[in-house]
A = this chain, B = another copy of it.
Amino acid sequence: MEERLEHQQLDSYLEPRLQRIERALREYLPATDKKPATLVEAMRYALLSGGKRLRPVLCIASAEACGAEMETVLPTACALEMIHAFSLTHDDLPALDNDTLRRGKPTCHVQFGEAVALLAGDALFAKAFEMIAQQSRLSPPGRVIQVLALVSHAVGTNGMVGGQVEDMHAESGAPTPDDLEYIHTHKTGSLIRASVLAGGALAGAEKESLVSLDNYGKFIGHAFQIIDDILNETGDPERLGKAVGSDRERQKATYPRLFGLEKSQETADNYITKAVNALQDFGSEADPLRWLAQYVSKRDH
């Protein structure tokens, strides 16, 4: 009962924000018939083919929990989605996961060829930093640089890309729980965590609040990746828009592989509880973050 209420509240919270995000992404990256038209088409294909928009939503909800307005953080929120799209585009390439289907559509390299897909990823990444620079029209420069620092760190060597490399290595070996922890916290967790933190930082939150948000982000990042692993085993390919079972085929390091499905769901639920607990010093202004935590754990795609 309470769960259904939360679900409805989350839906009413999300609807206008998702609409605004979709509109902003299209405005920030308009189609063009001038050079380099193909590149822009591929970037838009990768960016605008749906998706949960979880990272921009988290950034916005976090900023709102700290008293800022959605419009203030929109460029950075969209930048985070561009980085996500860049990482998926590169991840899908034949040299990496060689995936052909994403959100029910051919992946970018299937549609545009490997070279254009690779460069579209690069260009989305560059565009993300342009967006963060644009953020300086709406926020004090010191805060914008703080965001730049935390986002670039979350993406790079000791963040997402580092996690991707170790994920790849784990395919051929026998990953330990420590390896898995490293992969999860870096490959997926770090950008989710940075999304939450960026919202707080742009809102000018106090150090204490930022620590709480950082913990919240860390825990939902964990839970998110565990659920991802579970869905890759048990999910509905139609809902997911991609094939399932691919992790198992590739002998990827996953939670279900190491701990079984039941234990994995339990661990994810524990992380969600920890995430919600991390927000205890916030009032109702952080409710959307709390609903989002439940959503992460209950999602089916």
Contacts and interface: CB of A to CB of B under 8 A. Distances in A.
Interface of A: 35-36, 38-40, 43, 90, 93, 95-96, 113-116, 118-119, 121-123, 125-127, 129-130, 132-134, 136, 141-142, 144-145, 148-149, 151-153, 155-159, 161-166, 168-169, 182
B156 A130 contact: yes
B169 A123 contact: no
Nearest to A162: B36
- Give the copy number: 2
B115 A95 contact: yes
A100 to B, nearest CB: 16
B165 A152 contact: no
Given A43-B157, A126-B153, A130-B152, 20 more contacts: A35-B182, A36-B165, A38-B169, A39-B161, A39-B162, A39-B165, A40-B157, A90-B122, A93-B118, A95-B118, A96-B115, A116-B168, A121-B122, A122-B125, A122-B156, A125-B125, A125-B126, A126-B161, A127-B156, A144-B145
A122 B144 CA distance: 22
A226 to B, nearest CB: 20
A141 B132 CA distance: 13
Contacts of A148: 129, 132-133, 148
Given A133-B149, A141-B145, A144-B141, A35 B166 contact: yes
Contacts of A35: 162, 166, 182
Contact of A159 (B114, B126, B153): B126
B36 A119 contact: no
Contacts of A115: 95-96, 165, 168
Sort A-B residue pairs by CB-CB distance and give the 9 closest, nearest first. A126-B156, A133-B149, A141-B141, A95-B114, A129-B152, A36-B162, A130-B152, A39-B165, A126-B155
Contacts of A123: 156-157, 161-162
